[in-house]
A and B are shown apart, each in its own frame.
Chain A
Amino acid sequence: MLNSEIRTKTAEEYAKDAKRAKVLGILKSIGIYTMLTIWAIAVLFPFFWMLITSFKTFGSYNAERVPSLLIKYPTIGNYLSAFTEINLAGYLLNTLIFTVITTLAMVIVSVLAAYAFSRLEFKGKEIVFTIFLALMMIPTELVVITNFVTVTNMGLRNTFTGLILPSVTSVFYIYLLRENFSQIPNNLYLAAKVDGTGDFKYLWKVVIPICKPTIITVLILKVIECWNSFVWPRLITDNDAYFLISQGIQAIRESGFGRENVPAMMAAVVLVSLPLIILFLVFRNKIMEGVARGGTKG
Chain B
Amino acid sequence: MEKNNLKAWLYLLPAILFLGVFLVYPLVDVFIYSFEEGFNSASQTHLGIGFYNYAYVLRDPYFLQALGNTFVLVFITVPVSTLLALVISLGLSSIKWLRKLFQTIYFLPYVTNTLAVGLVFMILFQQTPYTDGMVNFVLSWFGIAPIDFITGPYWAKMLVLSIYTVWTVLPFKILILTSALASVNDTYYQAARVDGTTGMRMFTRITLPMISPSLFYLIITGFIGAFKAYSDAVALFGTNLNSAEMNTIVGYIYDMLYGDGGGYPSFASAAAVILFVIVLTITVINLLVSRKTVHYGGGAGNA
| B-binding residues in A (CB < 8 A) | 29, 32-33, 35-36, 39-40, 42-44, 46-47, 49-50, 62, 64-67, 108-110, 112-113, 115-117, 120-123, 125, 128, 132, 135, 138-139, 141-150, 165-166, 168-169, 171, 174, 199, 224, 227-228, 230-231, 234-235, 245-247, 249-250, 253-254, 260, 262, 265-266, 269, 272-273, 276-277, 279-281, 284, 287-288, 291-292, 295-298
Contact = CB atoms under 8 A, between A and B. Distances in A.
Given A144-B26, A145-B257, A273-B113, 5 more contacts: A32-B91, A138-B27, A142-B275, A148-B257, A250-B234
Contacts of B24: 135
A135 B23 contact: yes
B259 to A, nearest CB: 9
B8 A121 contact: yes
Contacts of B131: 64-67
B83 to A, nearest CB: 13
Contact of B250 (A33, A47, A64, A141): A141
B62 interface: no
A224 B4 CA distance: 36
A134 B250 CA distance: 22
B69 to A, nearest CB: 16
B110 to A, nearest CB: 7
A262 B119 CA distance: 10
Contact of A32 (B30, B95, B122, B230): B95
Contacts of A287: 107, 111
A211 B33 CA distance: 42
B261 to A, nearest CB: 14
Contact of B230 (A43, A123, A231, A265): A231
B198 interface: no
B258 A227 contact: no
A217 B205 CA distance: 36
B80 interface: no
Interface string B102-143: 111111111111111101111110001011011001000000
Contacts of A141: 228, 250, 253, 272, 275-276
B4 A269 contact: no
Contact of A265 (B18, B109, B119): B119
Contacts of A280: 107-108, 111
Interface of B: 1-2, 4-5, 7-9, 11-12, 14-15, 18-19, 21-27, 29-30, 33, 41, 87-88, 91-92, 94-95, 98, 102-117, 119-124, 128, 130-131, 133-134, 137, 167-169, 171-172, 175-176, 179, 221, 224-225, 228, 230-231, 234, 238-239, 250, 253-254, 257-258, 265, 268-269, 272-273, 275-276, 279, 302
Contact of B4 (A62, A120, A260): A120
Contacts of A246: 113-116, 231
14 contacts: A39-B88, A62-B130, A120-B4, A120-B8, A122-B5, A135-B24, A141-B253, A141-B276, A230-B231, A246-B115, A246-B231, A249-B116, A288-B175, A297-B172
Given A40-B102, A40-B105, A42-B167, A269 B116 contact: yes
Contacts of A147: 22, 26
Contact of B137 (A66, A227, A235, A262): A66
A224 B108 CA distance: 12
Contacts of B104: 281, 284
A39 B92 CA distance: 11
A257 to B, nearest CB: 13
B23 A169 contact: yes
Given A32-B94, A230-B114, A146 B30 contact: yes
Contacts of A145: 26, 29-30, 33, 253, 257, 265, 268-269, 272
Contacts of B230: 231
B113 A108 contact: no
Contacts of B41: 149
A138 B112 CA distance: 25
B95 A143 contact: no
A273 to B, nearest CB: 5
B113 A272 contact: yes
Contact of A277 (B15, B33, B111): B111
Contact of A249 (B113, B123, B128): B113
Contact of A139 (B25, B87, B276): B276
A245 B116 contact: yes
A67 to B, nearest CB: 5
